[in-house]
Structure formats: structure tokens, C-alpha cells
Structure 1
């Protein structure tokens, strides 16, 4: 697997960072923290990929796609965001902050966090990809700088494509496991509620500790940063797209789906608050 080279859908090397208008973004603290936290999680995706590959190790179709496509694309997201951060905020020691984050993240990113069956874990992965597609679409809508808009649009397109693969594999496994809608819904909701905490919150805490050492371990300050970042996302979120992506693994009849889209839109906004 390691010897195979797959073409990426876009290349970081083709992004012209000389076009960055740093004056439009350098004083935007919520944006800075959002980009840093996203870059940390994306840059640590190889660890999560190894866990997923291990979980699906006897399925060469799923494991092969994860290792040859999903992982390289996720890692490119991390490199691209890091490059942008270092261009706009050159005084921030990205590597030290990331290493600190990864020391903690790697301890809790384990197979024990996965759903109990392969189909349900793939359904949960659809929620994660929905969340990242929502995040990057929001950032692309908000981005005051054209290069940031270009980057986040590329990443958002990748995340939507990843969602489609996880959904395809979910359907394949669920046809074998026969999980009912309630089991699938429970897995979806569990992962949706986790969007409120975990990786991004951990990442922002480490960004705060390295950008403002005097605020290290100041939970109240970190909470304010998280709230400001979530408000930025929420102001630019496409709830209709996100809810449709969330509901898709349930394969609901059209009338039933339309009846629950409104309360789920409220739940999504709660998750992003």
C-alpha cells in the first residue's frame, strides 16, 4: 500500500500564497483559533486513519481507500492550513503548539471510541464528515481573503466526497448487519453531540497555551474563545445541507424526513453554539 502513489484532487503547491491579503485576517482572533484547531486535527488524522484501517483490516476496499485516498487528502488539509497560518501569523509557533496538542490527542484517539459495529461506525463517520463539510463551507462563506476562500472551498469539496464514500460503505455493511433506524439514529446522535467538545476544544486549549502563555490553563478564557469561534461558524452555517447529510444514513421516506428536519436543524445549531 505504501508504494502506491495516488493523485490528489488538488495540490498545495499550486496555491499562490503571494495573493494572501493578510491585512484582512490577521486581527481576526476567532478565525485564527478556528484555523489552528482545524489544522491540528487534520494534521493528526494519520493516527485516526491507522485506527480505522485496523478496524476494517480484512476489507481491502475500505482499508485501501482510507490509506490511499482519505489519509493523504486529510494530511494535505493540515499542511495547507498550517501554511496559511504561518503566512499570516508568522510569530505563532505552530509546530510546538501542535506537538503539545498531539501528546494529549494521541492518548484518547483509540479504537475504544468506535461504535460497536462496522456499519454504525461508518454512520458515525458520516456525521464527522458532515461536521467538517459544514465547518469549511462556513469558513469559505466567511473568508475575507481570496486565498483562504480557495483553500477552504477545496477542503470542503474533499470532505463532501469523503462523506459519500463513508455513506457508500455504510450501506454495504448495514445490508449485512441489518441495523434498524433507531440503532443508526442513536449512533448518529452520539457522534453529533460529540461535535460540541473533544478534538476541537482540546486543540483550541493548546493554541491558547502557546499563543498566550499567561492564559495557560485559563478555562474561562478558553471557553470564551470557543464561544466566539462557534458563533463565527453558526453565522455562516448551511443548516439545510448539514441536516440532509445527517439524515441520509436513515434512508427515510420523504414525508418522514421533512417532518424531522426542523427539530434536527435546531439540534445542529445547538451542537455548533
Structure 2
């Protein structure tokens, strides 16, 4: 059992005045609210993923302590912040029931068996996830002028970038031991990139739609079209440049070569992330 105490938060949702939310502006962007709600589900399920990660790195007190005292509390706060925003704008939305339905399905997809085979490569996979979330919250911030949402997503994006830096540091720590070459690291990167849009967000959006539009629960075409609109909303505001820079870092590619791989990787990123 880990007895580490959570550290003070860089920011607190309790310090954000939700009454400043511009309700007309917030409620006017239904697709964005659907995305925020799905994101709140995934962030609120972080404790399950933390348990698996802590188990994988159980004999490393440095990594375990950081996961339990900083990463998990901050990720869970992301979920609380987004939930508070949704509840303020959509008071009629039954978040608790929708999340419970989501988690019943989502929890079955999370297991240590899906982790990379080595610790360094699992840290690479985590870098990809943090790249995706940092890029997502920057895109949300760019596509909304609602002041409270911009404040919340700026805090979350900053947290995700800091988390990325920690996972990258631990990747370097373990790769000094494992000695994975660029092709092994690239393989881990691409495997995680290929999964970035798969189960988590699809499960979350499906349960958001089921609660928001119960009359459309079996309308596959409608749900597919709504998902495509949400993806397009993010893609229009996606910073491919930021994303590529974060993805390239674990590969340690010399600066003189980076321009040659930057453009094709940016195109891949635009198609895979939030496609």
C-alpha cells in the first residue's frame, strides 16, 4: 500500500468562479460540450490506470510516488473541473449515471497486459498519450472564447505538458538501462498513436450520446455523423507542430534531420489524432 500524501495542486477547481460562465455562449456549442463531457469521463477514470501503472513500476519508489502524489490527483482534478463545467451548463445531464455506464465498459479495456513489454517503451507510450491530451486541450482552448472554459483548459494543458516532461524523464532513465534503439522507440510510438483514437474516446462519446440523446441510442448513422463533427471541430484547431515536436523528442533525432521527418509526421498526425 502506498502512503504517499498528495502534494499541493498547481491550481484548484474550487478557486475558479463558475458563475462567470457565459451560459449562452457555452450552451451554443453543443459539439464542444459533448467533447468536454467525454473528456471528463476519461479523466475521471484515471485512478484505474494509475493502479495499473503503479503495479507495473511498483519497485521504483520515485515513479510510484510521482504517479500517486502528483499525476493521479491532477488528472482526477481535470475530470472534476470538466464535470463541474458540464453540470453548470447542462444541469439536466445525469453525469453520474452516464459515467457509471461508461466506467462499467471502460474498466474492462484497461489492463497491464496491454502495456509495452519494457518500462522504457511504456514511458514512450505514456508520452504519446500526454502529447494527445495536451494537444486536445490546446485545441479546445483555441476553439472557444468562453472565459471560464479557456481558464480551465489552459490549466489542464499546462498540467499535461508537465506530465509529458516527467514521463519523458523516466523514459530516458529506463532507456539508459534497456538501450532501445530508434526503431524500437518508433514502434512503441506508432503503436500508441494508432490506438490514440480507438477505445477510450469512442466508449466515452457513445455513453455521452446515450444520455444526451436517448431517442437516438440505436441510430448508428447519427452517432457517427456527430462524432465526425466533433473530430472536425478539434482538427481545425489542432497544433500539428506542437504535436510533432513532442512525438519526435523520444526518438532523439539529430536537429539536421528533423525537418525531413517533420512534414510527413505532421500529415500523419493530422489524420490519426482526432481523425
Question: What TM-score range do you get, normalising by the shorter chain?
Answer: over 0.9
Instruction: List per-residue Cα deviations over 1:242-271 (Å, max 9, x = no partner).
Output: 100001000110122111010110011101
Give the 5 Å matches for 1:51-200. 51-200=52-201
Instruction: List per-residue Cα deviations over 1:130-186 (Å, max 9, x = no partner).
Output: 000000000111122100000000000000000000000000001100111001001
Q: 1 CA distance for matches of 2:218 and 2:246? A: 36
- Stretches of structure 2 that go unaligned for 5 or more consecutive residues are none
Instruction: List per-residue Cα deviations over 1:94-139 (Å, max 9, x = no partner).
Output: 1100000000000111111111110000001000000000000001
Q: 2 CA distance for matches of 1:167 and 1:79? A: 26
The aligned residue for residue 19 of structure 2 is 18
TM-score by length of 2: 0.97
Structure 1 stretches of 4+ moved >6 Å = none
TM-score by length of 1: 0.98
- SS across alignment from 2:27: coil
Q: Which moved more, 1:253-262 or 1:78-87?
A: 253-262
Contact 1:205/1:217 (8 A) holds in 2 = no
The aligned residue for residue 4 of structure 1 is 5
Q: 1 CA distance for matches of 2:12 and 2:119? A: 32
Contact 2:98/2:211 (8 A) holds in 1 = yes
The aligned residue for residue 226 of structure 1 is 227
TM-aligned CA deviation for residue 3 of structure 1: 5.6
The aligned residue for residue 206 of structure 1 is 207
Q: 1 CA distance for matches of 2:259 and 2:167? A: 23
Contact 1:41/1:203 (8 A) holds in 2 = yes
- SS across alignment from 1:255: coil
Contact 1:31/1:229 (8 A) holds in 2 = yes
Q: How many residues align?
A: 273
Q: 1 CA distance for matches of 2:6 and 2:270? A: 40
Instruction: List per-residue Cα deviations over 1:187-242 (Å, max 9, x = no partner).
Output: 10111111222101110000111111111143322221221111111111111111
The aligned residue for residue 270 of structure 1 is 271
Contact 2:185/2:250 (8 A) holds in 1 = yes
